[in-house]
Structure 1
Amino acid sequence: MTTIRDFMTDDHRRCDDVFAEVEQAVAGGDWAAAAAAFARFQESVLQHFAAEESLLFPAFEQKTGMRMGPTQVMRSEHVQMRELMQSAAAALAAQDADAYAGEAETLLIMMQQHNMKEENILYPMCDQHLAYETDTLVPQLRAEMPGAGE
C-alpha cells in the first residue's frame, strides 16, 4: 500500500524535475523549450495544489477537526506560489533571463520550505489520521494529478 506521504512526495519530485528542465532551457537560451517546460511545470503544480485543497486537506480537516492549523498554512503558501509562478511566466514570456532567475529562485526556496513542511509534518499526520481512507484517497489524488505516480 502506498502511503499518502510517499505518493505526494513522489509528485513533489516530479514537479521539481520539470522545474529543473525550465532552468536548463533558460540557461541555454532556448526560450521555446523553457516556455513549454514551464507550462508543464505550472500545470503539474496547480494540479497538485488542487488535489490537496479539494481532497487531502478537507479529509484531514474532517477527521481531525483542525481547520486553522497546518492545512491553512499550506493553502496560504499555495496562494503565494501561484503568484510567483505568474511572475515567472511573465518573465519567460518577455524572455528576460534575469527577471526569470529572480522569480525562479524565490519560487524554488519557497517550494523547498513548503515541501519540507508537507513531507515531514503534514503528510505523516495525514497517514496517521487517514490510515483507513488511504486505499480510496490515494487513487482519488492520482486521478486529480495526471502524471503523478509515474
Structure 2
Amino acid sequence: MGTICDYLVHDHQRCDELFAHVETNVALKEWRRAEENFRLFSGALDRHIWMEEGILFPTFEKTIRGSGMPLGMLRVEHQRIRAIVNRICDALCRSDPVDFMLHTETFALLMQQHSVKEEDMLYPLLDRILGSHTTEIVCAMREKVESTIQ
C-alpha cells in the first residue's frame, strides 16, 4: 500500500508528466493535441487538490488542533494554482505561445515551491501523525481517482 507521502508524491509526478506532454505539444505547435492533453492534466490536478482538501486536510484538522493555519496557506496556494491553470488554458484556447510560456513559467515556479512544502514537510508529518489511518486514507484517495476517471 505504501505511505500517504508515497501515494501523493507519485501523484505529483503523474501530474508533472501530464503537463510535460502539453508543453511538448505546444513546442510542436500541436494546439489541438495540447488542449486534449491539458484536459487530462487539469483533471488530474483537480483530483489531486480534491484528495488533499477533501480527504487529507480535514482528517489532519480533526486530529491536530491548530493545524488550520498551515493548511489554510496551502489552500490559498491551491487557489493560486487553479488561477494560473485557468490562464494557461486560456492561452491554449487562443493558441498563444507567448502567453502560454509566460503562464507556464509562473506555474512551474509556484508548483515547485508548493510541492516542496508538501513533499518535504506536510506529507511526512501526515505519515507520522495519521500513520494508523494510512490504509483508509489512501483507499479513499484511490476511490476518488477511480470514480472520476470512469
Q: TM-score, normalised by structure 2?
A: 0.94
Tell me the distance in 2 between the aligned counterparts of 1:70 and 1:22: 31
Which protein has greater RCO, CA pairs closer than 8 Å, 6+ apart?
A: 1
Tell me the distance in 1 between the aligned counterparts of 2:66 and 2:138: 21
1:88 alignment counterpart: 88
Q: What residue identity is the alignment partner of 2:96?
A: D
Q: CA RMSD in A?
A: 1.2
Tell me the distance in 2 between the aligned counterparts of 1:143 and 1:116: 26
Q: What residue identity is the alignment partner of 2:58?
A: P
1:2 alignment partner, SS class: coil
Aligned length: 147
Unaligned runs of 5+ in 1: none
1:118 alignment partner, SS class: helix
Tell me the distance in 1 between the aligned counterparts of 2:116 and 2:37: 24
Runs of 4+ in 1 over 6 A off after TM superposition: none
Q: What residue identity is the alignment partner of 2:61?
A: E
1:112/1:146 CA distance change after superposition, 3 Å: farther
1:60 alignment counterpart: 60
Tell me the distance in 1 between the aligned counterparts of 2:3 and 2:69: 22
Q: TM-score, normalised by structure 1?
A: 0.94
Unaligned runs of 5+ in 2: none
Query: Are 2:131 and 1:131 equivalent residues in the alignment?
Result: yes
Tell me the distance in 2 between the aligned counterparts of 1:48 and 1:112: 15
Tell me the distance in 2 between the aligned counterparts of 1:10 and 1:90: 28
Q: Give 1:65 shift.
A: 1.3
Q: What residue identity is the alignment partner of 1:73?
A: M
Q: Give 1:67 shift.
A: 3.6
2:131 alignment partner, SS class: coil
Task: Flag the structure with higher helix content.
Answer: 2
